[in-house]
Structures are given as C-alpha cells and as structure tokens.
Amino acid sequence: MRNFTCPACEKPTIAPARKWASSSLNPVHCSECGAQVYASSRQSSLWRILESFLVTLVVIRALIGFSWWLVVIAVLIVVAMEALRLFLVPLVRLRREGDGVA
C-alpha cells in the first residue's frame, strides 16, 4: 500500500498505519519536512458516529432475534468503515496558536 501525501510538502511520506492512528493529540511527523499532520478530527468523529450508529442498529437487531450472522455483519461494518475512513478522511496540518505558520 502506498503512502499518503503530506499536506505541507506534498510528498508521499505518511504511512497508512501512522495516518490511521493519528489525531490532533498524537500527530504524525512528516519525515521530509517535519510538519505535524493528522487525520481531520472533525471528519474522523463523523465517521466514528456513523460507524457506532450502524453497529448499534445491528446489535439491537441481534438482541431482538439473535444470530451470529448479525455479529459478523457488525464486525464487517466496523472494518469497512475504518478502511473508508483511512482513505477518505484527509490529513491536515496541525496549527498551534503563535507558531507562525500561515
């Protein structure tokens, strides 16, 4: 799998696992320019809410009429949503107050 592009220097230096684990509290450092970047937390949170909602619906359905297939479907939803989040949520540069970055 190819690396993701750093929003600061436009070079493919961000590994998929590092992007997936990044947050504004735990940014990834670009190996080329040293910028701190992370997966957009606002969009990431939206993905997590949607993922939770879908899994909750499956779990409620599982409680009404339990089936192992519904548990498998819930797990597949989580895996699919995390894969989509990895590719669709953009990396953004961490900007701190007074750092002089425009």
Q: What is the pLDDT of residues 59-95, one digit of tens each?
A: 777 777 766 777 777 778 878 877 887 888 888 888 7
Cα 38 to its chain centre, rounded Å, is 9
Q: What is the pTM assigned to this prediction? A: 0.62
Residue at token pair 């540069």? 93
pLDDT of residue 42 exceeding 70, the answer is no
86 contacts: CB under 8 Å, gap ≥ 6: 16, 19, 20
Q: What integer pLDDT is reported at residue 66 of this predicted model?
A: 67
Domain boundaries, the chain: 4-93
Mean of per-residue pLDDT scores for the chain: 79
Q: What integer pLDDT is reported at residue 13 of this predicted model?
A: 92
Q: 41 to each of 44, 46, 66, 73, 78, how far by Cα in Å?
A: 5, 8, 35, 26, 18
Mapped onto helix, strand or coil, the DSSP state of residue 66 is: coil
